[in-house]
């Protein structure tokens, strides 16, 4: 075989071994990798390009049905014409509609919004009667990376927060800063109804006077000599004092000033929200939170560090000493910690693989392999940066996972050079020949691994871009490792390995071992059949572990995070004080939990959102009956229990508090992957609102009876009353009053009305002037009915009671739509030992007597029907796409092997060990109590390429030996003995790389698949593949 001309691999090796460019190119690649590690932005999670837009349109006075039929439905149909729409959601409520357009993942934000605004403009032209829509685009960059909670005794926190906005906004990379917990700056004009009646005024007259006298404008120009001088007319009111002295009317020749008929104050009579910060066991402290987002593509670590540095400087120089700033969120720090920890694991994994080579081949060989691995990682980091990936947990896990397979090419090449030297050849002749001998199989094996991994990059939905760094980075790394193994590794071998001969005693031992093991199988067909049927039985038995729930199926396991959120929904009509009291009780109850460090309470408003809150639209949670408790946990090193364990532990403590007041409480954890509306979602469709409500109640009842199902809720609003004060138009007309007057007076009386704005010097924004009645009047019907309206004909003050007919009726249910169809959502979660929502879903589904679908909206129109969504939907789509990727990968592997061996049957032999991986994967999950997740599936797919690599090495060796005239049985035994060492070495290297991600909650499934799958399938491959190939050759020989 030594006289054979060199193939492409040998030629590459011969060039790389002697070229002066090889070390220079290697050094250049190393520098590129170091540069990439320094400049690549660090983030905790991959950036997913998903764009949503909320379109809010007012329809004053319209009831729910009118809003749905005349506004929401036509607008949805208009949006449905656009390309690239994933879903259209809407909710119709009295007087307003909210339509949410969710674009497909991967559509650029600018492209999506240009299309949206263009479509919306077309709709407005067709429907000019509606008010100007308010459009708010949402995306991953709307999630704050920093949360700064301000507290301090005797401080005007709003003023302090306002003073921080501009300096922090100027920090490079900061996108937006929002203030949570600050009452809007306003001047309250609380009218005295008795005083107004005495001077012959009403609310409308005062409002019109304030608006009309606070005017200023550009009148034009006047000519003075040869120069035009601009003329400004009027002037804005610039202080509360000036407003107080404003003349609002003249009565009997005497001016009536505003302070004579109203009380002017700058403090809100009733707050609309409360924000509190509380250290464990401490007192409640009023607080304000600054939520800071970063610009797209910016390094979260750098932005967060620069903001905190600027804040520290301001605290020393400008801010009050008693101000306390608590960093309640720092995604930059968590991203940096995670990246640093994973880079450390990457280093340890590399050292472990090099140590493995050191122990098995020698120290010089270890240096060669180690150098090749470091160079491969460096160049892969650069390729990852060039591709557009950030340094995040997924991309770094991809590198750690890849260590074991990136080193394979170098190990195979170095081990074969090592073997050739042991056969008595010189280093000079050994290197090209040794590389060429394994070059063909190595090239083919590399592309089979890529063929197995790369199709995963085309997984659709949110999970696709989330996991895409794994197949792309691993595939790029494999290509680079092959290039380095064929060029740089021969150069390193020539300069580092010694030109000396050694006896390979280990090879003789392996030959004797495999001779004893395999000869009985080679010579007895029944034994081969018995082994084959036994392996098939084992595969079937291992699949049965999932059926009996010894292995639990789940999308992704929970991560160990530093925060938990409590989301509270009080009954409709609850006051802010009631909501706040329950939230405070929830926070105080957590004092008994050791792992809790602090809590932040948000009553009437939402806490800073995460990606989960973005998808679930938590930012819309504004109202007196809503609130959150943000629970901050101790650092990972200071607590024994993981965040998921704590979420389970606090549930029995907190649920009774909510149930006692009829509230809905959800304990929300940071999702481990792409978020969904809820882990379990039942979408109820039906021909009428009553049919949907009845079906929703049926579903709710069944979920409540299902073991392990918790946090059960629906979009049905609890029964409450609303009043309709209908203007008696005929009576009003006779008295000289219009319906508009009555509406405006009652709006002012009950909710207040912003009638104008003051341009107060040194204020960053105009200050609203709100005209209203004392808050106590809301609870006194007689006083409200005695509010007067001035007659336009007689000038008399007419009590509202004479102009309206008051009717009470049940509060109208909001109408939800999904993709143009009315829907009611029922949501739930799973808790307990079996926390996979899939099992709760299927347990409940069997007892719900409704038509049900699992993949698409039900094609049922005359009766209520149910479609399951939530984690099930994303699990189905992910595993469907991964299954398709697996099938495509197998097909590509088959085509590659057919092209190399020129046979249709040989690839089937080579791919035979793929099912054997299940014999290791499933028991491994059962043994460690690990759930079979999407990352487990990734490991299973990767194994297809890894195991095929081993098969190729074995079959190629047997083929070469048989072609050289060796006996078939001896060739088979020799193949197992000679190739066992590189195969076991590469297997151990892959297992070592996987070992370092075994402790990660999310990626442990991938590690379990690799460790146990490789261990079992490698051992079986060394026996099964040579036997199958020998049987194939015998069968062919019989037919010749």
Asked if 508 and 978 count as a contact pair (C-beta separation under 8 A), the reply is: no
pLDDT of residue 123: 92
Nearest to 511 by CA among 1026, 144, 1018: 1026
839 Cβ partners below 8 Å, 6+ apart? 549, 552, 708, 830
Q: And the tokens for 433?
A: 């020949």
686-705 residues labelled b (16+ CB within 10 A) or e (exposed): beebebbbbbbebbbebbee
- DSSP state string for 875-943: HHHHHHHHHHHHHHHHHHHHHHHHHHH--SSHHHHHTTTGGGHHHHHHHHHHHHT--B-HHHHHHHHHH
Backbone angles phi, psi at 598, to 5 degrees: -160, 165
Q: Could you tell me which residues are beta bridge partners of residue 209?
A: none
Nearest to 750 by CA among 96, 183, 191, 93: 191
pLDDT of residue 154: 62
Number of other residues whose CB lies within 10 A of the CB of residue 106: 14
pLDDT of residue 1036: 77
Q: And the tokens for 438?
A: 């394994």
* Inter-CA distances, 49 with 84, 931, 961, Å: 13, 29, 53
Q: Could you tell me which residues are beta bridge partners of residue 630?
A: 565, 600
Please report, rounded to a whole number, the percentage of residues in the chain having pLDDT higher than 70: 97
Task: For residue 882, give the 3-state DSSP assignment.
Answer: helix
Whole-model pTM: value is 0.85
Task: Give the Cα-Cα-Cα angle 320, 321, 324 (nearest 5 degrees).
Answer: 90
Q: Which residues of the chain have pLDDT under 50?
A: 1-2, 503
Q: Could you tell me which residues are beta bridge partners of residue 88?
A: 101
Model confidence pLDDT, tens digit, residues 675-705: 889 999 999 999 999 999 999 999 999 999 9
Taking the C-alpha atoms of residue 937 and residue 874, their distance in angstroms, rounded to an integer, is: 14
* Helix orientation angle between 934-963 and 917-928, rounded to the nearest 10 degrees: 150
Nearest to 969 by CA among 1015, 907, 1026: 1026
Q: And the tokens for 724?
A: 């309709």
Model confidence pLDDT, tens digit, residues 833-871: 788 899 999 999 989 999 999 998 998 888 999 999 999
pLDDT of residue 864: 94
What domains are defined for the chain? 8-39+361-498+506-555+876-1038 (1.20.1640.10), 560-671 (3.30.70.1430)
Taking the C-alpha atoms of residue 195 and residue 203, their distance in angstroms, rounded to an integer, is: 11
For the chain, the residue count is 1040
789 Cβ partners below 8 Å, 6+ apart? 202, 204, 737, 741, 742, 745, 797, 798, 800, 803
192 Cβ partners below 8 Å, 6+ apart? 261, 262, 263
Model confidence pLDDT, tens digit, residues 53-71: 999 999 988 889 999 999 9
Q: Give 676's Cβ-side CA count (13 Å radius).
A: 25
Taking the C-alpha atoms of residue 943 and residue 960, their distance in angstroms, rounded to an integer, is: 26
Nearest to 614 by CA among 12, 39, 52, 202: 52
pLDDT of residue 826: 96
315 Cβ partners below 8 Å, 6+ apart? 323, 325
Q: Could you tell me which residues are beta bridge partners of residue 402?
A: none
pLDDT of residue 268: 65
Task: For residue 632, give the 3-state DSSP assignment.
Answer: strand
Nearest to 480 by CA among 414, 370, 595, 382: 382
Number of other residues whose CB lies within 10 A of the CB of residue 656: 10
pLDDT of residue 500: 61
């Amino acid at each position: 075989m030594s006289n054979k001309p060199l193939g492409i691999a040998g030629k590459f090796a011969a060039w790389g071994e002697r070229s002066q460019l090889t070390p220079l190119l290697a050094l250049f690649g190393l520098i590129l990798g170091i540069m990439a590690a320094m400049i690549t932005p660090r983030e905790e999670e991959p950036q997913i390009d998903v764009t949503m837009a909320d379109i809010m349109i007012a329809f004053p006075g319209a009831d729910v049905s009118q809003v749905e039929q005349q506004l929401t439905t036509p607008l949805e149909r208009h949006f449905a014409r656009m390309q690239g729409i994933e879903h259209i959601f809407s909710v119709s409520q009295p007087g307003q509609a909210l339509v949410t357009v969710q674009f497909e993942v991967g559509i650029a934000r600018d492209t999506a919004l240009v299309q949206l605004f263009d479509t919306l403009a077309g709709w407005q032209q067709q429907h000019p009667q509606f008010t100007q829509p308010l459009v708010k685009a949402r995306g991953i960059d709307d999630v704050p990376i920093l949360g700064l909670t301000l507290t301090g005794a005797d401080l005007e926190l709003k003023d302090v927060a306002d003073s921080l906005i501009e300096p922090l906004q100027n920090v490079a990379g900061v996108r937006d800063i929002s203030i949570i917990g600050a009452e809007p700056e306003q001047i309250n004009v609380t009218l005295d109804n008795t005083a107004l009646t005495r001077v012959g005024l009403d609310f409308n007259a005062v409002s019109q006077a304030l608006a009309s006298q606070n005017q200023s404008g550009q009148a034009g120009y006047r000519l003075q000599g040869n120069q035009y001088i601009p003329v400004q007319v009027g002037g804005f009111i610039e202080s509360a004092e000036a407003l107080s002295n404003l003349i609002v009317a003249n009565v009997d020749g005497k001016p009536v000033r505003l302070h004579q008929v109203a009380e002017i104050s700058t403090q809100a009579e009733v707050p609309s929200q409360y924000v509190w910060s509380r250290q464990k066991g401490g007192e409640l402290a009023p607080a304000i939170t600054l939520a800071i987002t970063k610009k797209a593509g910016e390094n979260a670590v750098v932005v967060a560090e620069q903001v905190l540095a600027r804040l520290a400087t301001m605290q020393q120089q400008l801010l009050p000493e008693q101000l306390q700033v608590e960093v309640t969120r720092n995604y930059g720090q968590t991203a940096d910690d995670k990246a640093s920890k994973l880079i450390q694991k990457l280093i340890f994994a590399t050292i472990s693989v090099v140590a493995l080579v050191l122990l098995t081949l020698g120290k010089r060989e270890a240096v060669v392999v180690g150098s090749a691995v470091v160079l491969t990682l460096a160049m892969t980091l650069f390729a990852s940066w060039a591709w557009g990936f950030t340094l995040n947990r997924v991309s770094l896990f991809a590198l750690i996972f890849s260590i074991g397979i990136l080193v394979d090419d170098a190990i195979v090449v170095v081990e074969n050079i090592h073997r050739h030297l042991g056969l008595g050849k010189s280093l000079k002749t050994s290197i090209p020949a040794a590389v060429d001998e394994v070059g063909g199989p190595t090239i083919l094996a590399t592309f089979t691994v890529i063929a197995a991994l790369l199709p995963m990059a085309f997984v659709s939905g949110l999970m696709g871009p989330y996991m895409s760094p794994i197949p792309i980075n691993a595939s790029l790394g494999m290509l680079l490792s092959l290039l380095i193994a064929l060029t740089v590794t021969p150069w390193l071998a020539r300069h580092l390995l010694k030109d000396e001969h050694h006896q390979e005693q280990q090879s003789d031992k392996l030959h004797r071992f495999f001779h004893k093991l395999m000869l009985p199988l080679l010579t007895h067909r029944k034994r081969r059949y018995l082994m084959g049927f036994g392996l098939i039985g084992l595969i079937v038995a291992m699949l049965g572990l999932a059926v009996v729930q010894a292995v639990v199926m789940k999308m992704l396991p929970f991560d160990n995070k530093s925060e938990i959120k409590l989301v509270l929904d009080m009954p409709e009509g609850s006051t802010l004080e009631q909501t706040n009291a329950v939230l405070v009780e929830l926070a105080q109850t957590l004092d008994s939990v050791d792992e809790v460090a602090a809590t932040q309470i948000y009553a009437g408003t939402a806490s800073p959102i995460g990606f989960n809150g973005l998808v679930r639209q938590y930012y819309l949670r504004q109202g007196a009956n809503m609130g959150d408790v943000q629970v901050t946990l101790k650092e990972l090193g200071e607590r024994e229990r993981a965040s998921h364990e704590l979420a389970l532990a606090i549930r029995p403590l907190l649920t009774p508090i909510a149930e006692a007041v009829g509230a809905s409480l959800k304990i929300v954890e940071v999702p481990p992957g792409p978020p969904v509306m809820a882990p379990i979602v039942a979408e109820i469709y039906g021909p009428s609102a009553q049919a949907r409500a009845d079906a929703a109640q049926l579903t709710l009842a069944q979920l409540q009876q299902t073991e392990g199902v918790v946090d059960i809720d629906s979009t049905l609003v609890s029964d409450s009353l609303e009043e309709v004060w209908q203007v008696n138009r005929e009576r009003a007309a006779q008295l000289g009053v219009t319906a508009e007057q009555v509406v405006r007076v009652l709006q002012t009386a009950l909710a207040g009305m912003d009638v104008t704005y003051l341009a107060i010097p040194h204020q960053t924004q105009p200050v609203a002037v709100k005209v209203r009645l004392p808050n106590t009047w809301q609870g006194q019907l007689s006083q409200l009915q005695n509010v007067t309206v001035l007659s336009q004909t007689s000038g008399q003050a007419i009590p509202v009671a004479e102009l309206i007919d008051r009717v009470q009726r049940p509060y109208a249910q909001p109408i939800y739509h999904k993709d143009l169809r009315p829907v009611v959502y029922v949501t739930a979660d799973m808790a307990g030992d079996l926390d996979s929502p899939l099992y709760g879903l299927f347990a409940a589904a069997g007892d719900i007597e409704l038509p049900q679908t699992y993949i698409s909206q039900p094609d049922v129109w005359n009766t209520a029907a149910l479609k399951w969504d939530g984690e099930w939907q994303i699990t189905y789509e992910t595993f469907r796409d991964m299954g398709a990727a697996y099938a495509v990968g197998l097909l590509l592997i088959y085509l590659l092997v057919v092209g190399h061996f020129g046979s249709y049957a040989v690839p089937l032999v080579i791919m035979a060990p793929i099912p054997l991986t299940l014999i290791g994967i499933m028991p491994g999950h059962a043994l460690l109590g690990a759930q079979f997740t999407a990352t487990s599936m990734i490991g299973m797919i990767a194994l297809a390429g890894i195991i095929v690599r081993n098969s190729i090495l074995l079959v190629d060796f047997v083929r070469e030996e048989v072609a050289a005239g060796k006996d078939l049985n001896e060739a088979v035994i020799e193949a197992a003995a000679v190739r066992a060492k590189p195969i076991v070495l590469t297997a151990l290297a892959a297992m070592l790389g996987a070992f370092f991600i075994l402790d990660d909650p999310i990626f442990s499934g991938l590690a379990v698949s690799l460790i146990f799958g490789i261990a079992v399938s490698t051992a079986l491959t060394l026996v099964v593949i040579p036997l199958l190939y020998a049987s194939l050759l015998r069968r062919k020989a019989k037919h010749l």
